[in-house]
Structure 1
């Protein structure tokens, strides 16, 4: 079992990548609260560790070349964020077969093989990230994010 902050990083990265992929190629504001949940700054105006960890994950994605943004909006959001070409290509590309079969499947409910075009759509990294987020299973989210970002 991974440390909780690593599991949260994978979830934050997954949510951000799905949001940016869904808007691609438009630039959008990427709000930390939309990813990590609501946060009330304390009496000194400081955000929670969870909020700051999510912001850190977004900034890390930018530093590592997965997204670009124009500026930060205080510690609330990334202004005009967009996926980089490399990230878009990785998310659109097919994931390893073992991961696809484990998380998405290539057969219908009757056990018949899916049409090749549908298999291709269901085997993309972005589809697996969406599927893992819907499952809310932290191990699956971690697996697909690692596969998408680090090409396992």
Structure 2
């Protein structure tokens, strides 16, 4: 069993990357609440550990070259965030066939094969990330995010 904070990291990273991919190439504000859920700061105005972990994930993605941003909005959001070229290319690229077979949507097209362009879209890393996010299965999310983020360049 994986550590819960690592599972949350993978989910937060996946949600953030999907949001940025969906907006690409526009710059958008990336709000922690939209990724990790609502937060109730304590009586001193400090955010929860969960909120701060998600904010840390966003900063880590930036430090590792997956996204750029202009500034932080307190500890609530990244202002004018956008995917880097490397992240966009990686998310758009076809995933390995073994990953697609294991985590992609089952093909129910035996009688009419998919056109090559659609087949390519359905085998991209971003499509797999979206698919496993819908499943809400933390082990699958972790596996696909690891394969997406930590593959050789």
User: Which bracket does the TM-score occupy, shorter chain normalised?
Assistant: over 0.9
What's the secondary structure of 2:72's corresponding residue? strand
What's the secondary structure of 1:107's corresponding residue? coil
What is the Cα deviation at residue 109 of structure 1? 5.0
Q: Which runs of 4+ in 1 moved over 4 A?
A: 109-112
Q: Is the 8 A contact 1:72 1:79 kept in 2?
A: yes
What is the Cα deviation at residue 113 of structure 1? 3.6
Question: Over the residues paired in the alignment, what is the CA RMSD in angstroms?
Answer: 1.4
Deviates more, 1:125-134 or 1:138-147: 138-147
Q: Is the 8 A contact 2:13 2:61 kept in 1?
A: yes
5+ residue gaps, structure 2, are: none
Supply the distance in 2 between the matched residues of 1:116 and 1:106 (Cα, whole angstroms): 16
5+ residue gaps, structure 1, are: none
Supply the distance in 2 between the matched residues of 1:8 and 1:14 (Cα, whole angstroms): 10
Question: Aligned pair 1:146/2:146, yes or no?
Answer: yes
What is the Cα deviation at residue 17 of structure 1? 0.1
Supply the distance in 1 between the matched residues of 2:109 and 2:25 (Cα, whole angstroms): 34
What is the Cα deviation at residue 142 of structure 1? 0.6
TM-score, length-normalised on structure 1? 0.95
TM-score, length-normalised on structure 2? 0.95
> Which residue is 1:23 aligned to?
23
Question: Aligned pair 1:126/2:120, yes or no?
Answer: no
> Which residue is 1:99 aligned to?
99
